[in-house]
Amino acid sequence: MKFQLNSREEVEEFVRNEVLTTSEAIKILGISRQAMSNKIRDGKIKPVKKLRGDSLFLRSDIEEKKRELEVLRKKYRPYD
């Protein structure tokens, strides 16, 4: 995916709308912080930037992972 940002305002809007913190990603995915840490460690979710106490993710990556998790939940937890 390629992004073209031509002004500071476009960059700011992109960051506000398309970049997620770990807490925001956890909320979207519906998983625990420990599960998120495991997925990052195992390379199943890749942050675009790691910070000291947090990581940043692209919304598109998290939405894609959410779809994958929903499929797996239906397969392995059909009673939910």
pLDDT of the chain, 80 residues: tens digit per residue:
677 889 999 999 999 999 999 999 999 999 999 999 999 999 999 999 999 889 999 999 999 999 999 998 888 887 76
Total domain count, the chain: 1
Which residue do the tokens 């506000």 mark?
Answer: 16
Residue 1 domain-assigned (yes or no): no
Residue 62 domain-assigned (yes or no): yes
Residue 80 has a pLDDT of 66
Residue 57 has a pLDDT of 97
Residue 15 has a pLDDT of 93
Which DSSP symbol is given to 55? E
Residue 41 domain-assigned (yes or no): yes
7, burial (CB in 10 Å: exposed 0-12, middle 13-18, buried 19+): exposed
Who's near 3: CB < 8 A, 6+ residues apart?
14
Cα dihedral 51→45→20→29 (10° resolution):
-130
Structure token digits, residue 40 = 């990052």
